[in-house]
Each structure stands twice: as C-alpha cells, then as structure tokens.
Amino acid sequence: MCKGYRIFIAGIIQGSKQGLDVHDQTYRYSIKNILKEKFPNSTLFCPVENHPNSTLYDDKKAKTVFFKHLDILRQSHGLIVYLPEASLGCGIEMWESYQRKMVTVTISSMITNWVVRLLSDKVCETMDGFRDFIESGEMGKLLYSRFPEVKEG
C-alpha cells in the first residue's frame, strides 16, 4: 500500500513565446497550496522547481530532463495541468496521463479545445473553480476510484 498520492503539476512554461521568454509561473504555488490542504500526505512534483532555468539547457540536457519528467509522470496517480493557452509539452503530458488512466484535471478557459475536453477528467475554467473542485472532495473520489490501494491520510 502506497501512502499518499503522487501528483504531477504541469502547466504552460513557454507556450508560443519565442526565445527564452516564459509565462509567469506563480500559478504553480497556488496549485500546490490548494492540493496540500486536501492531500497533505501526497507527493507533489513540479518540474519547474527542479529545473527553473530549463530554457537555457542545451539540447542534450533538455532531452534528458524532458524524458525523465515523463518517467516521473508515468509513475504518478494524478496530473494537474494549467493551460491559459496551448502548450505542446502539456499536450504530451496529458496524453501520457490519459494512456495510463491517471486522473487528469485541467485548469483552462479553453473548454472547447478537443485535447482539453477529451483528455481531462475534469476541466476547471479558473483557479477558483479548481479550488472548489478540490475542496468539494471530488478529486479525492476520482483518485480513490482509480487507485484504491493508496492510503491518503
């Protein structure tokens, strides 16, 4: 029996930005704080915390990190994705999560986007909506329905 869920926090980093520019990453702290309240024994993995300057990596290091993160994702129970706009990396992460029957919750206003709609168990249009979803206990029910062997709490 595993104690606590493993939840991977994904979200837009560069999106369609050119060069080394990245989107504001403070959303990651909000997601972590919301999850910590309801899932205190869970392991939350945030790629940006481990690789804050990844846009500066050469191709060899970037490839190693990217595939290592996918391996970590594949060992997770849940994926939380923050998508204010499209992200190639998040699309790949969502596909991997879907293929492994993980719980995928997407925070995005792109509610008509097929990838968002079809690969998510739940789409929350705002961070407040995400908070409400987590606090309602629905995320816990989804996780438990797929991973009853995990003991949270």
> How far does CA 68 lie from the centroid of its chain?
15
What was the pLDDT predicted at 114? 96
pLDDT in tens, 30-57: 999 999 999 999 999 998 787 667 776 7
Alpha helices in 39-148 (DSSP H): 47-50, 59-74, 88-99, 114-119, 127-135, 138-146
What was the pLDDT predicted at 136? 97
Find the length of the chain. 153
Q: Which 8-state DSSP code applies to residue 61?
A: H
87 pLDDT band, cuts 50/70/90, is very high
Q: For the chain, which residues make up each domain, given as ranges?
A: 10-147
CATH of domain 10-147: 3.40.50.450
Residues 6+ apart with CB under 8 A from 120: 81, 94, 104, 105, 106
Average pLDDT value for residue range 109-124: 97
What was the pLDDT predicted at 52? 65
83 pLDDT band, cuts 50/70/90, is very high
What was the pLDDT predicted at 1? 45
Is the Cβ–Cβ distance between 140 and 152 less than 8 Å? yes
